[in-house]
Amino acid sequence: MRVLYIGGTGEISSACVAEAAKVGHQVTVFNRGRTSPHLPAGVEQIVGERIDYFASTSLAARNFDVVCQFLAFNAADAAKDIATFKGRCGQFVFVSSASVYSKPIVQLPINENTPIGNQFSRYSEGKLECEAQYLEAHNADHLPVTIIRPSHTYRHRLPSTIVSGDHLAWRLQNGKPVAVHGDGQSVWTLTHAEDFARAFISVCGQDKAYGQTVNITSDMGHTWNHILATVAEAIGVVPEIRPILSSRLEAAIPELQSTLSGDKANSLIFDMTKLKTLVPRWQCEVSLDRGISAAWAVVAKRLQDGFQPDRELDTKIDELIHQAEREAQT
C-alpha cells in the first residue's frame, strides 16, 4: 500500500513506519524535519508544515491508500486534515489516546464502549474534539476514518509517572529515593511500540475497520511498584521507593493532576476483543523486562551525554519524600 505518515519520528510512529517498511508498504513521512528521523531504507520524507500541506508540491499531487495521522491535537487540526485528504485516501487513521476515557475509571476492563470524557486533561479533550470531527466526516462520506486509541506505549523512554523517565533513571543512578503515587499498587498497562506497530499495520487497509474506534494496548497490567522495580533492575540498582498520596503530589505540583488523577493514578486494564476480531493472531511479544532493558540502553546514552534534570522539580520531590518519611516515623 501507499501509506502516508503525518509525523513518523515519535515514540510510537517511528515503530509503525519501520513495521510498514518491513512488510513492504510504500511509505512516505510528512513532518517538519526537526527530529533526526533514522528512517528505514526506502522511506520517503517530505518536509513541511501542517498549517499548509499544499505548500509542498510533493504532497499536493499525491493520493494514498492510507493516511496515518499522529499529530492532530484539536478541532482545527482535524478540520485541516478533512479539507486536505477528502477524496485523496482510501482510509484515514487517526491516532487518538486511551486517556480520553472518563476518570475515575468505574469498571474494568476498559473497552471501546467505556464512557469517555476526561475532565482532568486538556490533551484528552483535544483528542476527543478530533475524534468527533473525523467521525462526522466519515458519516458524511467525506473520509473513510478509523480511530486508534493507544495507552502508555514506550520504546526509547522509560515508563514513569511523577518525573520523566530520564529523570527517574538519573535519580536511581544517583542513589536517590523515587516517589510513587498512592501505595504503588494501582495497576497500569504498558505496551511496547513494536507490539503496537504490528497491530496498527494490520488494521491499516482493513475496510472492516472503517468507522470504527479500536484500542491497541497490551491486555496485561503491572503495579507501579513492579514497574519501578523493573526499571531499577535494568539499571542495576536497588530502588528506594517512597509512597506519597496523589492528592499531596498534585497539591505541591499542580501540573501533575492531568498525569495522575487524569491518567496514571487509575488502574487501567484493557479488553482487546475488538482488536483481536480484526487481527486474530496478534498478541504482545515484548516482555516488560526486555522492553525496559532496551529502553534503558537508549536512556543510558542520554544520561552519559550530560542529561540534567529539572532541578526545581527534583527539589520538590526530595521535599515531599522527606516529609512523608518524617510523618511515617511519628
Number of H helices, E strands in the chain: 11, 13
| Number of alpha carbons in the 13 Å side-chain half-sphere of residue 328 | 10
Three-state SS for 271?
coil
- Report the greatest alpha carbon distance in the chain: 71
Report which DSSP code applies to 2. E
Looking only at the bridges linking them, the beta strands covering 153-154 and 221-223 are unpaired
Contact 135, 211 (CB under 8 A): yes
Distance of CA 53 to the CA centre of its chain: 25
What is the pairing mode between strands 221-223 and 187-189? antiparallel
Q: Tell me, yes or no, if the pTM score tops 0.85.
A: yes
Residue 150 has pLDDT above 80, yes or no: yes
Residues forming beta bridges with residue 243, ordered by sequence position = 180
Run of H or E residues at 89 = strand 89-95
- What is the C-alpha to C-alpha distance for residues 156 and 146, in angstroms, rounded to an integer? 27
How do residues 38-95 score in pLDDT, each as one tens digit?
A: 788 899 988 877 766 656 656 777 899 999 999 999 999 999 999 989 999 999 999 9
CA-closest candidate to residue 192, choices 230, 149, 231, 155: 155
Interacting residues of 141 by C-beta distance below 8 A, sequence separation 6+? none
pLDDT digits (tens, 9 = 90+) for 260-293: 999 999 999 999 999 999 999 999 999 999 999 9
**Per-residue confidence (pLDDT) for residue 4, from 0 to 100:** 96
